[in-house]
């Protein structure tokens, strides 16, 4: 009896040890065919990231995971939003399957390290394109998918209107979240306009909004997309919140970001975005994209883009119907935009994000 219980104890200890070691090491030579999907894979040395991603079979896409309407988890645990859909678009182009995405949620601090260490292949994490990030940090930026800018929100009852300017803010209490560039931008703008403001910062924007509702803040400020979402969801009945000035006080072009000096990969990501924009211009959407090739109603450029005669996708290392997959499985730019951003009150018409023919900035080079 004593021997037996001793044996059990010792086996338990030994067994614990096995499990630790087993957990530490995936088999290197044992099951090379069977690398489980929840393991971190490092980028292969040399060669384009494109081949690595195609070999791996999934795209590691860095997102915020907590950015309203851009990337959030829905109640079923799916990553949804504008940025998440562009991740799916890239996966559809590279792998032919919009669901072959491994979403990695990143904080603002770790996002660039994650790209450099190869943890993620592309970053769709409302990252503003700036000179220092492009040069000093070692990132490359793709085409802007969303033109954002910092704006302010006040209550109509306090005398603010859509045509108010920073000059009207004299003596106002302005709230924003701490440690971001928004804090610096509003300070600079107030100084330039020659007004004195009382700036207060809070840990996160939920608290900022609560203080605004309670009246502790006269004005709150962050990127326009954030303000519109708050207004659409949290404006109490009988109150009128207004967003101003019409021209934002900062420029925040948001788009895909990836490691520098990988032209092959950059081309794939960039042209995936362009393909959604061109498809929007040509009236190709998820419903009709599969019927474009060989249909005379569409011009030669649309035919080429969808994989018809003279297509250029195979030259990029993709399959001929890569962009057709993108449009069929994810949709064109307008579909992606309306699906995710219309519910929070962000409309394309009249904004910088309208197509270039409608007075906006969304523009793609020709596909030829």
Cβ proximity to another protein, 5 vs 131, nearer residue: 5
Residues 231-270 close enough to bind another protein by CB under 8 A: 232-234
Helical (H) or strand (E) element with 103: strand 101-105
Phi/psi for 79 (5° steps) reads -75, 120
- Counting contacts by CB under 8 A, is residue 198 touching another protein? no
DSSP state of 44: P
Q: State in angstroms the smallest separation of the CB of 318 from another protein.
A: 23
The 265-284 contact track toward another protein, x by CB under 8 A, reads: --------------------
CA distance 107 to 71: 12
Q: Are 336 and 325 in contact (CB under 8 A)?
A: no
- Counting contacts by CB under 8 A, is residue 131 touching another protein? no
**Piece of 103-111, 148-156, 179-187, 269-277 that binds another protein (CB under 8 A):** 103-111
Cβ proximity to another protein, 71 vs 353, nearer residue: 71
- Counting contacts by CB under 8 A, is residue 203 touching another protein? no
Residues 77-96 close enough to bind another protein by CB under 8 A: 77-79
Among 50, 53, 90, 106, binds another protein (CB under 8 A): 106
Residue the block writes with tokens 């490092």: 42
Q: State in angstroms the smallest separation of the CB of 187 from another protein.
A: 25
Local structure of 91: helix, strand or coil: helix
Among 49, 94, 102, 144, binds another protein (CB under 8 A): 102
The 135-154 contact track toward another protein, x by CB under 8 A, reads: --------------------
- Counting contacts by CB under 8 A, is residue 363 touching another protein? no
Edge-to-edge, what's the strand order for the sheet holding 198-202? 198-202, 173-177, 219-223, 150-155, 241-244
Cβ proximity to another protein, 74 vs 158, nearer residue: 74
Helical (H) or strand (E) element with 122: strand 122-123
CA distance 74 to 94: 25
Cβ proximity to another protein, 217 vs 277, nearer residue: 217
- Counting contacts by CB under 8 A, is residue 184 touching another protein? no
Reading the block at residue 232, the tokens are 């659409």
- Counting contacts by CB under 8 A, is residue 300 touching another protein? no
- Counting contacts by CB under 8 A, is residue 40 touching another protein? yes
CA distance 129 to 122: 14
Among 30, 45, 136, 237, binds another protein (CB under 8 A): 30
- Counting contacts by CB under 8 A, is residue 332 touching another protein? no
CA distance 112 to 139: 8
Q: In the beta sheet, which residues pair with residue 331?
A: none
CA distance 87 to 276: 13
Supply the angle between the helices 263-282 and 49-56 in degrees, to the nearest 10.
Answer: 80
- Counting contacts by CB under 8 A, is residue 344 touching another protein? yes
Q: State in angstroms the smallest separation of the CB of 336 from another protein.
A: 15
Q: Are 83 and 70 in contact (CB under 8 A)?
A: yes
- Counting contacts by CB under 8 A, is residue 196 touching another protein? no
Among 55, 117, 246, 356, binds another protein (CB under 8 A): 117
Q: State in angstroms the smallest separation of the CB of 220 from another protein.
A: 12
Residues 6-25 close enough to bind another protein by CB under 8 A: 6-25
DSSP state of 128: B
- Counting contacts by CB under 8 A, is residue 221 touching another protein? no
**Radius of gyration of the CA atoms of the chain, in A:** 25
All residues at 6 or more sequence positions from 129 whose CB lies less than 8 Å from its CB, including other chains: 141, 144, 253, 254, 255, 257
Q: State in angstroms the smallest separation of the CB of 30 from another protein.
A: 5
Among 53, 68, 275, 354, binds another protein (CB under 8 A): 68
CA distance 327 to 238: 42
**Piece of 37-45, 159-167, 175-183, 244-252 that binds another protein (CB under 8 A):** 37-45
């Amino acid at each position: 009896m004593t021997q037996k219980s001793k044996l059990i104890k010792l086996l338990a200890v030994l067994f614990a040890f096995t499990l630790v070691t087993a957990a530490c090491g995936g088999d290197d030579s044992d099951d090379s065919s069977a690398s489980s999907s929840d393991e971190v894979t490092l980028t292969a040395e040399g060669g384009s990231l494109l081949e690595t991603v195609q070999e791996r079979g999934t795209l590691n896409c860095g997102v915020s995971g907590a950015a309203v309407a851009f990337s959030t988890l829905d109640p079923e645990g799916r990553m949804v939003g504008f940025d998440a859909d562009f991740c799916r678009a890239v996966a559809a182009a590279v792998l032919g399957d919009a669901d072959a995405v491994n979403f990695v949620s990143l904080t603002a601090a770790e996002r660039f390290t994650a790209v450099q260490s190869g943890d993620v292949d592309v970053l769709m994490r409302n990252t503003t394109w700036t000179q220092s990030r492009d040069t000093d940090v070692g990132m490359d930026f793709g085409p802007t998918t969303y033109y954002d800018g910092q704006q302010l929100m006040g209550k109509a009852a306090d005398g603010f209107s859509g045509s108010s300017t920073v000059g009207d803010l004299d003596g106002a209490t302005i709230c924003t979240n701490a440690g971001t560039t928004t804090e610096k931008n509003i300070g600079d703008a107030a100084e330039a306009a020659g007004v004195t403001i009382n700036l207060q910062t809070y840990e996160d924007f939920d608290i900022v909004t609560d203080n605004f509702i309670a009246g502790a803040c006269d004005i709150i400020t962050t990127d326009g997309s954030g303000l519109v979402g708050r207004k659409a969801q949290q404006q109490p009945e009988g109150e009128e919140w207004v967003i101003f000035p019409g021209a934002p006080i900062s420029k925040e072009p948001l788009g895909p970001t990836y490691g520098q000096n990988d032209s092959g990969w950059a081309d794939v990501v960039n042209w995936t975005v362009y393909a959604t924009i061109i498809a929007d211009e040509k009236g190709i959407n998820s419903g009709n994209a599969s019927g474009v090739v060989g249909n005379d109603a569409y011009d030669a450029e649309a035919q080429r883009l969808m994989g018809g005669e003279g297509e250029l996708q195979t030259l990029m290392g993709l399959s001929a119907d890569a962009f057709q997959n993108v449009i069929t499985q994810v949709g064109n730019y307008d579909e992606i935009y309306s699906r995710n951003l219309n519910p929070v009150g962000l409309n394309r018409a009249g904004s910088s994000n309208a197509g270039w023919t409608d007075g906006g900035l969304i523009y793609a080079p020709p596909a030829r």
